[in-house]
Amino acid sequence: MPTTRERRLDVAPSPETAPRTLVQDVYQRLRSDIIYGELKPGKRLRAEHLKGLYNVSGATMREALALLVADALVISREQRGFIVAPVSIADFTDITETRATLEAHAVRMAVRQGDDEWEVNLSGAFHRLSLAEERRAYRQNDDYWEECNKKFHEALVAGFDSPWTRYFLTILYRQSERYRRIALNNAPPERDVHAEHVAIFEAAMARDEVTVGALIEQHIRATLDVILSVETAVVSSNDS
Amino acid sequence: MPTTRERRLDVAPSPETAPRTLVQDVYQRLRSDIIYGELKPGKRLRAEHLKGLYNVSGATMREALALLVADALVISREQRGFIVAPVSIADFTDITETRATLEAHAVRMAVRQGDDEWEVNLSGAFHRLSLAEERRAYRQNDDYWEECNKKFHEALVAGFDSPWTRYFLTILYRQSERYRRIALNNAPPERDVHAEHVAIFEAAMARDEVTVGALIEQHIRATLDVILSVETAVVSSNDS
DNA sequence: GCAAGACAAAATCTCGAGATTTTATACAAA
DNA sequence: TTTGTATAAAATCTCGAGATTTTGTCTTGC
């Protein structure tokens, strides 16, 4: 069952994301509910049903759904309403490969172009992530760790001044996060993620362009490998 | 398990299929008007004004505008309405570089993975483009040539089975097209575009991965160079 | 028994008006 | 002159109901 504002604030209390319009608010709540898997892949999103849950009108709900189509988290079928984007192994494979290519390129460029400010922010993001990884003791679905991990990846590519690359990477990261949460709910990772982060961080600070690119690609592909090996049934839910 | 691809990453409904909803219709018309430069960069998009021009209600107009935000052709400013995305040299540079990187990678992969069907379609698209280029005698804003050119680029990357890559390339191609139409209205290109296409096509058919990648990057960057040298004033218009 | 067609129910899509927020103008005080 | 405030105007944002399309079910005919 979809939630809720409180829960989103728990996760990301960033003040700049506080939505000032109902459309923005509903958009963020829906996006969160989809990424968190509370709205299952393939589920129909009927305005009549959702408008009660989110306390807005049908037109407002429609506009929010239109925004989610941009992120490819919702699919619009002409004259037949909206559904949550289905999931598949093929799709996640494509997301992973595309992201690996783009992010590796971005990180290589960041290593080449990043200034002092980039190093400082990256160092900070890495430290916060390290703290979170020591503390979490491999709990799954750790929202705080998820936030730190995202920030670390953002800090890595921040040295590469390309808004378009960052825009695409943001979309792909959200997609990846959804697959992680859906597929790895009960499957602990067999790998030492922290060690991978350490290696990436050190290669970046050493300005080792080739190594950092290779490590990032490997790092991104590792989650796909885990999911493929777990072979968790990636099933769509029916509509309610 | 839904390995079906559906149409989830379609940026737009196929141009030949007439849109079945008003929202889709207005979305396509607005997008065309923006790319063709009839709606100037920075121009405010007031629902009250536009609903008269496009004969729809404010709510429908809003939903269409929300879809355009996805393509980054329209920018939504909270509580202050929508505007046509502004243009800048920095933005076009970023678009060009990102597209060069992505498309070069896609074409290299296509050369590596493309099957007979890919070769056949590419050959056809190239031939049609060649005919259009002989015929057009360097007229500017040739819609038919523009269509053939787009089809040729699509056919090139089609051999690489990555919906996400194609999705991003479609967005970037539209952005590039807008800049071409805005900036090159009265500036004939100094280069032999057809010769570039011939070289790219031959390298692709020869399965020369390295050459075709280099040529594509060069080809995409060439338009940026022309625009930079022309130094057409890229100005925003005021609101009406 | 199976296919085709018609009616009914449900869902989506669209609209015009009202509520909320932003922007512009006028006026007074320092 | 400049600053700040209050009022008015304009634009955006939101809603609930009606129109259009799709979906499900039943009947009819072969």
DSSP A88-132: -HHHHHHHHHHHHHHHHHHHHHHHHH--HHHHHHHHHHHHHHHHH
3-state DSSP helix/strand/coil % of chain B, to nearest 5: 65, 5, 35
Q: Which nucleotides of C are covered by protein (CB under 7 A)?
A: 11-17, 21-23
Domain final residue, candidates B84, B102, B133: B84
Boundaries of domain holding A221: 89-230
- Give strand ranges (E) for chain A: 44-45, 74-76, 82-84
Q: Is A90 exposed, middle or buried (0-12, 13-18, 19+ CB in 10 A)?
A: middle
Q: What is the pLDDT along chain B (240 residues), one digit of tens a residue?
A: 232 223 334 444 444 455 678 999 999 999 999 999 999 999 999 988 898 899 999 999 999 999 999 899 999 998 889 999 999 999 999 999 999 999 999 999 999 999 999 999 999 999 999 998 887 665 655 788 899 999 999 999 999 999 999 999 999 999 999 999 888 765 666 678 899 999 999 999 999 999 999 999 999 999 898 888 876 444 444 333
Residue B154, in any domain of the structure: yes
Chain B residues whose CB is inside 8 A of the A41 CB are 2
Residue B108, in any domain of the structure: yes
Asked whether residue B196 falls in the same domain as residue B138, the answer is: yes
Asked whether residue A127 falls in the same domain as residue A46, the answer is: no
Residue B113, in any domain of the structure: yes
Residue A107, in any domain of the structure: yes
Q: Is A65 exposed, middle or buried (0-12, 13-18, 19+ CB in 10 A)?
A: buried
pLDDT at residue number B231 = 60
Q: What is the mean pLDDT of residues A121-137?
A: 89
Residue A12, in any domain of the structure: yes
CA angle (A149 as vertex; A146, A155 as ends), nearest 5: 140
Asked whether residue B68 falls in the same domain as residue B130, the answer is: no
Residue in B with minimal Cα distance to A235: B1
Strands B74-76 and A82-84: unpaired
Tokens 């289905």 belong to A86
Predicted confidence (pLDDT) per residue in A210-228, tens digit: 999 999 999 999 989 888 8
Number of domains in chain B: 2
Domain final residue, candidates A84, A109, A130: A84
CA distance A117 to B98: 23
Asked whether residue A162 falls in the same domain as residue A70, the answer is: no
Asked whether residue A97 falls in the same domain as residue A80, the answer is: no
Residue A239, in any domain of the structure: no
Which DSSP symbol is given to B214?
H
Residue A15, domain CATH: 1.10.10.10
The number of beta carbons lying within 10 Å of the beta carbon of residue B4 is 9
Chain A residues whose CB is inside 8 A of the B68 CB are none
Residue B195, in any domain of the structure: yes
Q: Which nucleotides of D are covered by protein (CB under 7 A)?
A: 11-17, 21-23
Asked whether residue A184 falls in the same domain as residue A155, the answer is: yes
A94 vs B163: CB contact, 8 Å cut-off? yes
Q: What is the mean pLDDT of residues A80-100?
A: 95
Asked whether residue A40 falls in the same domain as residue A150, the answer is: no
Asked whether residue B78 falls in the same domain as residue B119, the answer is: no
Asked whether residue A146 falls in the same domain as residue A217, the answer is: yes
Q: What is the mean pLDDT of residues A173-195?
A: 82
Asked whether residue A121 falls in the same domain as residue A195, the answer is: yes
Residue A48 has pLDDT above 50, yes or no: yes
Residue B102, domain CATH: 1.20.120.530
Asked whether residue B76 falls in the same domain as residue B181, the answer is: no
Domain final residue, candidates A84, A112, A131: A84
Q: Is B77 exposed, middle or buried (0-12, 13-18, 19+ CB in 10 A)?
A: exposed
Residue A172, in any domain of the structure: yes
Asked whether residue A36 falls in the same domain as residue A125, the answer is: no
